[in-house]
Amino acid sequence: MSVLNFILGFHTYLEDYKEVRRIVSEFGEEALALSDPSDNLDSGLSGEYKLYNGGTPIKDVYRARFSTATISFQKYATEKTREYIEKAWKQPTYVVRPYGVQGTDRFLKLLSDLTGKPVPQSLEEERQKLLDAMADSYYWVHGKRFALWGDPDFVYGVTSFLLELGAEPVHILCTNAGEEWAQEIKDLCSKFDNGKYAQVFPGKDLWHMRSLLFTEPVDYMIGTSYGKYLWRDTGTPLIRIGYPIFDRHHLHRYGILFYKGAINMLVWIVNTILDETDRRTISIASTDYSFDLIR
């Protein structure tokens, strides 16, 4: 059995840590998370105080240097870390963002290449379920215009998924990113017809986003709790995905990576669209007996 190290990143949701272990185990291998805060942030209520819960055991940190490879889900936040691992551990490192269909496909191909094993049928079936869910909701998401912001790799992954859904990412903003990230986003969007509307803003903040939403409005925003102030000022509906989410409960308990996480994001996106559609047509609903029961 080979061991693979994973660096998921602070924007990753708790369930994603369990998912990466499950997926790697489907290949018959073992995954080590460097580091793993999932149990610390979801420790349960036992009635006894514990300063620390879960985490990555010290013995696993020692074992990590003898692993087959290290896979990071963040390109821009782990440059020095990957450089150290390659130099000190003599270990290859890889970057992949397993968001949506294509991102997860690349991740599973990497696992297949590293382990020498084919992608398990169970994961192929999960892919099929995601595609079925996307087909069910495509009509509602297609052509909708989005603004989004967050961590560089998170924004890259969500942009990729929006493009797969037929949505139009219009304002793509990241405060802690530079021109390399901006060019990567532009290259990604250029591969899709619906990516031609994308405007990329590295090094800008949400005050800049506020101006964009006034001068070139979009249909929806995807981002953190701080977006509620943009919603208040501009009226643009906010879909809360990312970190931090302070003003809603329990969203961190769901995953956003891999095929299953993509279904979660699709659920949040399409149901927000349906909620807003109902709100805009409430006057019709009061007089129309057959008001859109099935969608």
Long-range own/partner contacts, residues 266-269 (CB < 8 A, 24 or more apart): 266/130, 266/133, 266/134, 266/137, 266/141, 266/165, 268/239, 268/240, 268/241, 269/137, 269/141, 269/165, 269/167, 269/220, 269/222, 269/239
Extended strands (E) in 144-286: 145-149, 168-174, 199-202, 220-223, 238-240
Each residue's pLDDT, cut to its tens digit, for the chain (295 residues) gives 567 788 777 667 778 888 999 999 999 998 888 887 777 777 777 788 877 777 888 888 888 888 899 999 999 988 999 999 999 999 999 999 999 999 999 999 999 999 999 999 999 999 999 999 999 999 999 999 999 999 999 999 999 999 999 999 999 999 999 999 999 999 999 999 999 999 999 999 999 999 999 999 999 999 999 999 999 999 999 999 988 888 988 888 889 999 999 999 999 999 999 999 888 776 655 556 666 666 7
* CATH 3.40.50.1980 in the chain, residue ranges: 3-122, 127-283
Instruction: Note whether 268 and 148 are within 8 A (CB).
Output: no
Per the CATH hierarchy, to which homologous superfamily does domain 3-122 belong?
Nitrogenase molybdenum iron protein domain (3.40.50.1980)
Q: Which residue carries 């003003």 as its tokens?
A: 247
Which residues does 139 contact at the CB level (< 8 Å), separation at least 6? none
Token duo for residue 161: 């998924």
| Token digits of residue 257 | 């990576």
- With tokens 């889900």, the residue in question is 73
- pLDDT at position 166 is 96
d(Cα 213, Cα 233) in Å, to the nearest integer?
9
Class of domain 127-283: alpha beta
Rg (CA), the chain: 20
Q: What secondary structure, in 3-state letters, does 92-155 show? A: CEEECCCCHHHHHHHHHHHHHHHHCCCCCHHHHHHHHHHHHHHHHHHHHHCCCEEEEECCHHHH
